[in-house]
Amino acid sequence: MLPKALQELISELSALPGVGPRTAERYAYYLLRSSQPAAARLSRAIDRLHDNVKFCPVTFALIDAHQSVSPLYSDPARDKRQIAVVEDALDVIALERTGAFKGTYHVLGGIISPIDGIGPEKLHIPELLDRIKRDQATEVILALNARVEGESTALFIQKQIESGGLKVAISRLARGLPMGVDLEFADQITLSHALAGRREL
């Protein structure tokens, strides 16, 4: 029904996260109607990706292939004694967008999730423990997601830090009402967290 080249593109685009066949069709059709150079720009950008991006050997954030370490780590203005531990590289961007954090990051490269076959051995936890010692960290902020996997990963890391005899403050992100949400629509757990974590005005 559709030309083969278009079908193949639709099938490749359907592999993107959250993209169903209809959305893939729309994307493919858009690329077909856009100019050949415009489509070629996207294909070249995909081609260059793997060769030009690598993981920082210290923080495991994404860096340019020619960089030796993440600029967010090497920047002398950033406090190496404060380490925000995140699940993946996009979380770094989310936290950087707030402009409220001036420490450094440590990307775990995943979250403990037995269902998905991800155990703690697959995460960069030993490297985190090394960093805490080497950089004489004073605080580890466990900036993990607010689901069960995030909670158990946080607990595991906390135990590792304690059993390693490391003296460092461990904190996690506050739980509470997100901006713009009506109290009546907040779920029970969120509301209990918001109540327990209430602050004096």
Name the residues that contact a second copy, by CB under 8 A.
1-6, 8-9, 12-13, 15-19, 23, 25-32, 34, 36, 38-53, 62-65, 72, 88-90, 92-93, 96
Residues 173 and 71: their CA atoms lie apart, in Å, by: 24
Nearer to a second copy, 27 or 156 (CB): 27
Q: Which residues pair with 141 in a beta bridge?
A: 84, 171
CB of 179 to a second copy, least distance (A): 17
Residues 196 and 198: their CA atoms lie apart, in Å, by: 6
CB of 4 to a second copy, least distance (A): 6
Angle at 36 between CA 32 and CA 42, to 5 degrees: 85
CB of 68 to a second copy, least distance (A): 13
Nearer to a second copy, 132 or 143 (CB): 143
SS3 (DSSP) at 188: helix
Nearer to a second copy, 84 or 168 (CB): 84
Nearer to a second copy, 48 or 175 (CB): 48
Compute how many other C-beta atoms are within 10 angstroms of the C-beta atom of residue 170.
15
